[in-house]
Amino acid sequence: MKFKQLLTKSLLAAVCLLVGQSAWAQHYTTSFTSGTFTGGQQITSAGLLTVTMSATGQTWSAANGNQGNYGITVGPATLTESVPTAGTFIKIQPVKDLDFKLNTWAYNNMNYKLIDGAQPATIIVDERSRYNSTRNFGKLTAGKTYYIYTTESSVANGLKSIDVTSYENYTIHYKDGEGNTIKSDVVYAGLYGANVTASASDMESVEYNDKTYFYSSGNEEITLGTETNEITLVYATATPATITVKYWNNDEPAVEIKDATAIDTYVGATDITASGELLPTYINYEDNRYSYSSGNRVIATVTGDDVINLVYTAVPKYTCTVNAKAGETLLASPSATIYSGEDVTVYYQKAYSNASKWYFVDVNGSAPGYGVEFGSVTSNQSQDVTTYTLNNDVVYFAEAENLTIVGSWAANGNYLNWRSNGMSKRMAKKSYIYTSTIAPGVYDVTMWARNNRSAGTGTETLPIFLRDGDGNLTDLSVSFPGWARGGFEAAYTARIAIPDDGKDYSVAINNNTDYTSNLELDYVYLTKLPATVSKTISAAGWATYCSPYALDLSNATGLTDAYIVTGGSNGVLTKSSVKGGTVPANTGLLLKGNEGTATIPVVANSETNVANNILKGVTAETQIDPETGWVLMGSPKIGFYQNTNSFTVGANTAYILVSDLPVPQNQTADARASYLLFDDMTGISQVAGSEVKTNGVIYNLNGQRVSNPTKGIYIIDGVKVAIE
């Protein structure tokens, strides 16, 4: 590497943005925000340019530029072979090479053009501006003619000002001590009035006539336009010398940990220093990092070939670990190894599998990504994450990066790859992700997602499909809930059913919008619902029930009927049978059956309309205030009775609110308010199914003995019983 005396060339424009011409800066600005200009008027800045207003067109008045605040209106112009010849336009004739800026105000998105004056013209700038807009149109060449125009017209648009600064060329000469040229001149350009210097690359050693020349003196800095615009660098010959910089570790024995670097210099040169690129802060060697610690960095005076030895010390490495635990069971230990003083975030998953069970982390605000930050590490560190809960019903879990993505945009090569954002991944438009094969059954599909789309209105949804082994998709007509495009961040759950038809299905989540989408996924998991639910039917043959799942009552066993309650009159409930179909999750039901256990299949969803059902189902114990509800009781007769005291409604049962079913007007004040199940139940103590078990005789209401009772009311063992 050639030795460089580190001088820096600075190309700075120290110019003042003033109206008119400065005495030294060769900078000119003309404003069109006030006053009136006549057709054909010339505005001249001596030695820089002439600005000429076109002779035809509307009056050149700032009042035409949107109430006088935003300059003059330019346009429309009439073109001949793409050059303005009529209408309103401005002609620019630079005397020097100029840096040119145009400041406009356009309420209606005006399109301004800058062209040269050739025929046909070359469009240099064609830009649409709106509101205040300053554009650097680049360099205009001396001696050419340029035009500013637009073919559009609106009084709500204006040209506010033009701004120019001249360029100056300057030359660097290379001479020996006797004034002979030893290298070709180099020409640069800079803004008038700027201070410029010869750079280190301008001052490298020069090979000429088999001799090596090194820079020794010269006028290294000038101010453009106020001097001769020339820099002369004087070089001298000397005896070449090489300084070798070597990089060692401080181990025993020492090893060179970086290739040596040569500095070409000459005998007599002073203060040759290993700095900058020659003195890196760190050197990575094999599996370690080293930092500079000591060495003879400076050669005071070069007497011949010499060596600078730099010594580096190994930077300690430390491991930061997150211990994901379920109680005392260690589920995983993700870690990161970093160098001393660094920061690192160690990420861990949403869930871990252990012994065929899934353990889920409970961390507020942790998505996307679950991580522990370790800062300015100076030792091995670890942190336990112990807030794990067990979910026995989860059968599948995947972080976003483990999901497969497929999309119709594959041929375009756009947005198909997941984009990292912490532990989340971005999903393409018109694409879908899918899981591994899932066994038949009913499942809750849970997905954590974020939508960063902040603009627009309306909602977007993610429909769920089944994907068979051949890649065919079946729409389940189930979607994750719609979200506003204003942004969201949450976990969403949808319920689906996978049929048992011999095919291998996976679950696909489809982003079928037309947007490039800011949808990000963190994880997806499936929770399997039970295949059936059960309910105990007492000897009375009736029970209320509420399930958190949709139910298929048509295939239930142990039930003779199932009802919703739609109202009541004169102390008797109005019921509607739903035994022949399905009901949605959380539907309050009145079940009828034989004593024992009823078994009801679970389904994913139900479209049955139960909006008129006044049975209020609960899946957890619920406290109700006195005289606010009707609850099913078997005494003195089977029916729904108003609670006289505070009452706890059991989990997975149902009751009726008094506000939905008022107290019957035909009941006396001293009797406990009730609604019976049938209108012929006065005095009936029990309700039984068609199979009656008794140790005594059975009589009808006429006192006649009956051997095989049918539907009706009978006296059995001295008790009045209604047989369904």
Q: Of the candidates 165, 215, 226, which has an alpha carbon nearest to the alpha carbon of residue 18?
A: 165
Q: Which two tokens stand for residue 545?
A: 């029930």
Q: Put the strands of the sheet holding 459-467 in their side by side order.
A: 404-407, 431-438, 505-511, 459-467, 473-484
pLDDT of res. 69: 52
CA angle 663, 668, 673 (to 5 degrees): 40
Give residue-wise pLDDT tens across range 436-461: 899 999 999 988 776 655 555 556 67
The answer, yes or no, to whether residue 310 has pLDDT greater than 90, is yes
The answer, yes or no, to whether residue 377 has pLDDT greater than 90, is yes
Q: Of the candidates 606, 610, 613, 645, which has an alpha carbon nearest to the alpha carbon of residue 628?
A: 645
pLDDT of res. 699: 60
Q: Of the candidates 37, 54, 42, which has an alpha carbon nearest to the alpha carbon of residue 89?
A: 54
| Band (571; pLDDT cuts 50, 70, 90) | confident
CA distance 253 to 249: 9
681 domain-assigned: no
CB 174 within 8 A of CB 192: no
In a shared domain, residues 348 and 285: no
Of 328, 361, 392, the position where a domain reaches its end is 392
93-102, 515-524, 578-587: lowest mean pLDDT where? 515-524
pLDDT of res. 20: 33
pLDDT of res. 422: 46
In a shared domain, residues 617 and 696: no
Q: What are φ and ψ of residue 281, in 5° steps? A: -65, -40
In a shared domain, residues 388 and 413: no
Residue with tokens 């291998």: 504
419 domain-assigned: yes
The answer, yes or no, to whether residue 118 has pLDDT greater than 50, is yes
The answer, yes or no, to whether residue 688 has pLDDT greater than 50, is no
| Band (12; pLDDT cuts 50, 70, 90) | very low
Give residue-wise pLDDT tens across range 252-283: 889 999 999 999 888 888 889 999 999 999 99
In a shared domain, residues 34 and 148: yes
Which range has the top average pLDDT, 264-268, 505-509, 713-717?
505-509
| Band (56; pLDDT cuts 50, 70, 90) | low
Of 204, 221, 237, the position where a domain reaches its end is 237
pLDDT of res. 426: 63
Mean pLDDT for the stretch of residues 456-482: 78
Which residues share a beta bridge with 101? 136, 163
Q: Of the candidates 324, 318, 352, which has an alpha carbon nearest to the alpha carbon of residue 336?
A: 318
Give residue-wise pLDDT tens across range 16-43: 222 333 333 466 677 776 666 677 777 7
Give residue-wise pLDDT tens across range 135-162: 666 678 888 888 888 777 655 556 777 7
Mean pLDDT for the stretch of residues 668-675: 70
Residues in CB range of 602: below 8 A, 6 or more apart:
442, 529, 530, 531, 532, 533, 547, 549, 550, 551, 552
In a shared domain, residues 190 and 170: yes
**How many domains is the chain partitioned into structurally?**
6
Q: Is 286 left (phi over 0), alpha (psi -120 to 50) or beta?
A: left
pLDDT of res. 497: 94
Mean pLDDT for the stretch of residues 342-370: 75
Which range has the top average pLDDT, 108-112, 519-523, 538-542, 650-654?
650-654
527 domain-assigned: no
Q: What is the mean pLDDT of the chain?
A: 78
In a shared domain, residues 342 and 308: no
CB 485 within 8 A of CB 456: yes
pLDDT of res. 14: 24
Give residue-wise pLDDT tens across range 539-549: 889 999 999 99
Q: What is the CATH number of the domain that holds 270?
A: 3.10.20
| Band (565; pLDDT cuts 50, 70, 90) | very high
DSSP 529: P
| Band (421; pLDDT cuts 50, 70, 90) | very low
pLDDT of res. 166: 79
Mean pLDDT for the stretch of residues 461-484: 81
In a shared domain, residues 370 and 402: no
Q: Which domain holds residue 473?
A: 397-518
173 domain-assigned: yes
| 271 CB-contact burial (10 Å; exposed 0-12 / middle 13-18 / buried 19+) | exposed
CB 478 within 8 A of CB 496: yes
| Band (612; pLDDT cuts 50, 70, 90) | very high
In a shared domain, residues 343 and 428: no
In a shared domain, residues 227 and 181: yes
| 488 CB-contact burial (10 Å; exposed 0-12 / middle 13-18 / buried 19+) | middle
Q: Of the candidates 615, 594, 590, which has an alpha carbon nearest to the alpha carbon of residue 538?
A: 594
Mean pLDDT for the stretch of residues 326-355: 89
CA distance 139 to 165: 10
311-325, 448-462, 481-495, 582-596: lowest mean pLDDT where? 448-462
523 domain-assigned: no
526 domain-assigned: no
Q: Cα dist. 98→95, 137, 143, 567 in Å?
A: 8, 10, 11, 90
CA distance 42 to 30: 12
CA distance 469 to 458: 35
pLDDT of res. 460: 64
| Band (237; pLDDT cuts 50, 70, 90) | confident
Q: Of the candidates 271, 258, 342, which has an alpha carbon nearest to the alpha carbon of residue 302?
A: 271
Mean pLDDT for the stretch of residues 691-716: 61
In a shared domain, residues 91 and 218: yes
pLDDT of res. 596: 94
Mean pLDDT for the stretch of residues 291-297: 93
Of 454, 484, 518, the position where a domain reaches its end is 518
Q: Of the candidates 447, 425, 440, 591, which has an alpha carbon nearest to the alpha carbon of residue 508?
A: 447
pLDDT of res. 482: 59
Tell me the HSE value of 118 on the side-chain side, using a 13 A CA sphere: 8
Q: Of the candidates 47, 53, 17, 46, which has an alpha carbon nearest to the alpha carbon of residue 32?
A: 53
Residue with tokens 């340019």: 49
525 domain-assigned: no
pLDDT of res. 135: 62
461 domain-assigned: yes
The answer, yes or no, to whether residue 689 has pLDDT greater than 50, is no
Residues in CB range of 684: below 8 A, 6 or more apart:
637, 638, 713, 720, 721, 722
Tell me the HSE value of 508 on the side-chain side, using a 13 A CA sphere: 24
- Residue count of the chain: 724
In a shared domain, residues 197 and 57: yes
CB 465 within 8 A of CB 405: no
In a shared domain, residues 114 and 178: yes
